[in-house]
Structure 1
Amino acid sequence: MHSAEALFDKQVDPADVEAFLGRVVGDTSAWVATTMAMIGDRLGLWQALADTRATTSAELAERTGTVERYVREWLSSMAAHGYLTYDPDTGRFALPAEHVPVLAAEGPAFFGGFHHALYGLASMLGPVVEAFRHGGGVPLTAYTEDWWHGLERATSSWFDHLLPEVWLPAMPELDLALRRGADVADVGCGRGRALIRLAEAYPAGRYVGFDVHEESIAAARANAEAAGVADRISFECLDVTAGIPGDYDIITTFDVIHDAVDPLGMLRVIRSALRPDGHYVCLDINASHRLQDNTGPLSAYFYGVSVLFCLTTSLAQGGEGLGTCGFNEHTARRMCAEAGFGTVRRVDVDNPFNILYDITI
């Protein structure tokens, strides 16, 4: 270990150390704020504050069935971080109206699903540290319901709002095919929210979802029943490595390829199951193949989630381990060409999280 004095002897400017220390304090504070936001989501505190009326800690505790002393400390933390406002004259806290869509109302800007998912990822820290030491990874079966449910909530807002309203109108050929009635497969369908939304918006279609995670398939079937679209959707627990049953007009993957054990093999399987005039719709992470271009909070988030889920679950199965940023546009174009696709078109949608591709033979 080097002492601070020894480091300063190497011409380290103490002011630079102080500046970086300030940044680390801020980053650490942000982690605590995120953790508090997770708690607020889990306990329904944000939803109880969504009407934006100022409230005391006692009133909020009574409305949510929680203990006032904990609620008071939580409110203080969120006010200190600027998520809430505080009136010292009345002792009341309020959630500003512009914060409601992000923290309390499930829509395109809602981040509570990600907070819920991160709550689930926290329990994976121990197994991931062991993977650092010994290799391998953490299998899908180790992840808790909080992760899967949080991920469903996070992505459902995209499927409910962006898929029918933004993404498909930007691909008019697919929109027309779906309206006429298309055979559609979703590979890595998770809990089925994308297909359910498609079945609601385009009832003439026929839909099937494939996923290797049994619990997700069970949830997808229940979700389809609850949505009243089970008559036109089926879900199968299947590893598509050996092939996708049937052939399709449209095949979709939503943030799946970068997680795959064998991403090139999966692309080849998708290519073989696509009809000659079909379309492969691929949504994946908006990142660069150049590490130096992947900077800032969102890229740091991507790499962190990769360590805790995307990378480690692939490595747990002896996979390639692309990682969250691994299926970037450069890699996507190269792999799709190797898989036998002819055209890869980046769809013109503005999304900081993802790139949308319309891929054809």
Structure 2
Amino acid sequence: MTSTLDPITGATAPDPAEIEAFAARAVGDAATWMVTTMTMLGDRLGLWRAMADSRPVTAVELAAATGTDERYVREWLSSMTAHGYLTHSPESARFTLPPAHVPVLAVESPAHIGGLHQALFGLTGILGAVLDSFRYGGGVPMSAYPTDWWQGLERFSAGWFDYLLPQVWLPALPDLHETLRRGADVADVGCGRGRALIRLAEQFPAGRYVGFDVHPESIEAARAAALAAGVGDRVRFECRDVSGELPGDYDVITTFDVIHDAADPLGMLRAIRAALRPDGRYLCLDINASHRLEDNAGPVAAYFYGVSVLFCMTTSLADGGAGLGTCGFPEHTAREMCARAGFGTVRRVEMENPFNILYEITA
């Protein structure tokens, strides 16, 4: 159907078929939000974990196993079945979590996204503050974010540190691996709840490890986790802003999805460069995006920009910072800023990952 002129404005009126097609897409997107919300509830209530054995279960049985109300559970099961997350037998009135869905929804694994759902659950609590930032500028400080956000981030990134770091990333970095094996002084900037350093300390016990973060609650959780893991003798954590100066000097410095969040990303890179020993290595993980908006298309990129509004950009702006945003430190910008910070080489590590880029950076 050809476009027509709007009789009131004189502008070209959109094709009704195009309106219908986009309306269908928008409704589908809204349905996806609803499914994500239901999935978050399943994670929060332990419903997925209770179905991890992939045995068919009724709503009554699942409610009894999880201490929840049967009527709500039955409606939740229906929602998840309608979206294809579960299968249903009309004859037995039983629901099954397919085996291929178990690692994604129900158990800890490299594919598990329960932490992502918990983090998104946490973000719902700061939407009002984000609306105010749209209206008046500024941003939402880290102190405003609830525990679910921080715990969810730790759970979501657990796959990096429990699987990818020891099994994929370090084997691709033989010189760095050997430095760690011999026993290195290691600093993790923006360490969060400490999982990366704890895993490194377990794998390379000859090293000495320190993590820095500006979020007090995360540092407290990191200290407790290090003691629980039995590595408190070689791992310590400090609540400190190191964007101006990183105390000490190190063989290895790491940042995992931190630079694009920083209030002063260039200052942080310069501090890392100053604290890196002459033969040291800086391992930088950041977002796999382009500096060209037209290249950042599709669901993953849309998710990146959304998280930027809800956390990455707004927390930086809350501190009067650069507000790079989630997609604000792509390879083009990373190379440019690292050169300005005084680094000599920036090597992109070869790996297949739609979410992140890993760099090995040296003086």
CA contact (8 A) 1:211 1:236 kept: yes
Q: Distance in 2 between matches of 1:285 and 1:8?
A: 44
Tell me which of 165, 168, 173 is aligned to 2:167. 165
Match of residue 205 from structure 1: 207
Tell me which of 229, 233, 251 is aligned to 1:227. 229
CA contact (8 A) 2:243 2:265 kept: no
Q: Distance in 2 between matches of 1:295 and 1:108?
A: 25
- Alpha-carbon deviations, 1:223-271, whole Å to 9, x = none? 0011111111010000112311110000000000000001001000000
Instruction: Map 1:235-250 onto structure 2 (within 5 A).
Output: 235-250=237-252
Q: Distance in 1 between matches of 2:164 and 2:356?
A: 12
| SS of match in other structure, 2:237 | strand
CA contact (8 A) 2:316 2:323 kept: yes
Q: Give 1:88 shift.
A: 1.0
Tell me which of 9, 20, 23 is aligned to 2:22. 20
Q: Distance in 1 between matches of 2:232 and 2:117?
A: 30
| SS of match in other structure, 2:236 | strand
| SS of match in other structure, 2:181 | helix
1:211 maps to a residue whose letter is D
Tell me which of 270, 294, 297 is aligned to 1:295. 297
Match of residue 84 from structure 1: 86
Q: Distance in 1 between matches of 2:268 and 2:92?
A: 60
Q: Distance in 1 between matches of 2:44 and 2:204?
A: 34
Match of residue 35 from structure 1: 37
2:50 maps to a residue whose letter is A
Match of residue 97 from structure 2: 95
| SS of match in other structure, 1:242 | coil
Q: Distance in 2 between matches of 1:113 and 1:18?
A: 36
Match of residue 322 from structure 1: 324
Percent identity between the aligned chains? 70
| SS of match in other structure, 1:117 | helix
Taking a change above 3 Å as real, the CA distance of residues 53 and 270 of structure 1, as seen in their structure-2 partners, is same
- Alpha-carbon deviations, 1:183-219, whole Å to 9, x = none? 0000000000000000011111110000011100000
Match of residue 273 from structure 2: 271
Q: Give 1:6 shift.
A: 6.1
Q: Distance in 2 between matches of 1:358 and 1:138?
A: 32
Q: Distance in 2 between matches of 1:153 and 1:304?
A: 20
Q: Give 1:349 shift.
A: 1.3
Tell me which of 190, 193, 200 is aligned to 1:191. 193
CA contact (8 A) 1:185 1:210 kept: yes
CA contact (8 A) 2:161 2:195 kept: yes
1:187 maps to a residue whose letter is V
Residue 64 (structure 1) aligned with residue 66 (structure 2): yes
Q: Give 1:8 shift.
A: 11
Match of residue 341 from structure 1: 343
Tell me which of 241, 250, 255 is aligned to 1:253. 255
| SS of match in other structure, 2:13 | coil
CA contact (8 A) 1:185 1:207 kept: yes
CA contact (8 A) 1:8 1:14 kept: no
Which ranges of 4 or more aligned residues in structure 1 deviate by more than 4 Å? 4-9
Match of residue 51 from structure 1: 53
TM-score, normalised with respect to structure 2 = 0.97
Q: Distance in 2 between matches of 1:353 and 1:8?
A: 45
1:84 maps to a residue whose letter is L
Structure 1 unaligned residues grouped into runs of 5+: none
Residue 122 (structure 1) aligned with residue 134 (structure 2): no
Q: Give 1:107 shift.
A: 1.2
Match of residue 176 from structure 2: 174
Q: Distance in 1 between matches of 2:8 and 2:103?
A: 50
Taking a change above 3 Å as real, the CA distance of residues 98 and 6 of structure 1, as seen in their structure-2 partners, is farther
CA contact (8 A) 2:290 2:332 kept: yes
CA contact (8 A) 2:243 2:269 kept: no
Q: Distance in 1 between matches of 2:7 and 2:196?
A: 57
Match of residue 286 from structure 2: 284
Q: Distance in 1 between matches of 2:22 and 2:334?
A: 36
